[in-house]
A = this chain, B = another copy of it.
Amino acid sequence: MQMEQQILRIPGPTPIPPSVQRAMSQPMIGHRGQEMQALLEALKGKLKPIFGTKEEVLLFTSSGTAALETAVVNAVEPGEEVIVIVSGAFGDRFTKICEEYHILVHRYDVTWGEAASPDQLQHLLQKHQDVKAVFATFCETSTGVLNPIKDLASVVHQYSNALFIVDGVSCIGATETQMDEWGLDIVVTGSQKAMMLPAGLAFVAASKRAWEAIEHNQQPRFYLDMRKYRNKLEENSSPFTPAVSLLLGLKQAIALMEDEGLSTIYKRHQLMGEMTRNAFHALNIPLLTKDTDGSPTVTAVRPADFSAEALRKVLRSEFGLTIAGGQQHLKGAIFRIGHMGYCNPADVLQIISLMEIGLRKINKNIELGKGVRAAQNVYLNNK
């Protein structure tokens, strides 16, 4: 292995497309000049279809967690009640943020690896009739589950007046998102996943209903005040110094997405998820999730008879292939493969072929090429 090679297949940050890398290397422009105004004006319109909304998508210079916090501090006030769907580490993070701000949290704990159930949520909504908001994670990065956001939204609006707030960090741009049509009130994501950029930008959009709550919210907030971002974006500007190189990169990343087309991108991710899952089925290695709950962007594998950590270590040292481990109580028990953003079926086949060698290296007796063949078959049958 040449030391230079990095095969980065964690569920974000992802590799960066070369043309995006080049775009980010352009000479720095002034953040209050005409070029930046033109850049923001161009970006505004282009982000809306990715979120499936007619509302403005606000741009924050922050990581994804600040975007989660933005949703909390702008939509909810101390002392108010909320339901947080906790199906993994990132649902859990929403509860921690809410608790920090003295918001009363009703947790809906979902077994890690399973998807949230609209029926269970309905039950909870009927029990807690005064909740101001329901928080959900679209793709739970820690478990590889894609929650049924559309159905959950529909239950929220049928059984409550709560705002439905969605963390879309590890899937927006890779899976269909119809914010307006599905009734998602606040949707947030980050730059380092399906958006094919380094970390450092976050995106937040809000429905008209959400904006009413945001306008009247007394919760103190300064850097994360969505009103400031909306008002400045109207003038094609930003309230604070933006991450200029990332915005230059975003323009090119979106150009790539427009070239490919959103529906083709969604199909590519579906295909990569299916290829990955079927490879492990063929090798008789259990996944953490049911196929129907599996995300198109990340797959979690729960080995029964070998060490996830040993496999990760050998893949790293043999091939420079980095995959992720488990979080919290799944640490050491699972490994996670990211297949999102700048990732193709050709990359999935490479990961599987290396994975098979890694398994042999840690003395797991598998038939070489069997997982690759299963993934190849998925590819051939899907086309």
Q: Which residues of A approach B to under 8 Å, CB–CB?
A: 1-5, 7, 17-19, 25, 256, 259-260, 268, 319-321, 342, 344-347, 349-350, 352-354, 356-357, 360-361, 367-370, 372-373, 376-377, 379-380
Contacts and interface: CB of A to CB of B under 8 A. Distances in A.
Contacts of A376: 353, 356-357, 360, 368-369
B3 A259 contact: yes
Given A344-B319, A346-B350, A372-B372, A4 B256 contact: yes
Question: Copies per complex?
Answer: 2
Given A320-B346, A347-B350, A353-B376, 16 more contacts: A2-B260, A2-B342, A2-B344, A4-B19, A5-B342, A319-B345, A321-B346, A346-B354, A349-B354, A353-B353, A357-B376, A357-B380, A360-B376, A361-B380, A368-B373, A372-B372
Contacts of A17: 2, 4
A188 to B, nearest CB: 25
B350 A349 contact: yes
Contacts of A367: 373
Given A2-B17, A25-B25, A349 B353 contact: yes
Contacts of A352: 353
Contact of A353 (B3, B344, B350): B350
Contacts of A369: 369-370, 372-373, 376
A263 to B, nearest CB: 14
A368 B377 contact: yes
Contacts of A5: 342, 344, 346
A382 to B, nearest CB: 11
Contact of A2 (B2, B256, B370, B373): B256
Nearest to A259: B3
A319 B376 CA distance: 13
Contacts of A1: 344-346
Centre residue among A19, A353, A368 by max chain B CB count within 10 A: A353
A18 B380 CA distance: 32
22 contacts: A3-B259, A4-B18, A4-B19, A4-B342, A5-B342, A5-B346, A7-B346, A319-B344, A321-B346, A346-B350, A346-B353, A347-B350, A357-B379, A357-B380, A360-B376, A360-B380, A361-B380, A367-B373, A368-B372, A368-B380, A369-B372, A372-B373
Contacts of A350: 346-347, 349-350, 353
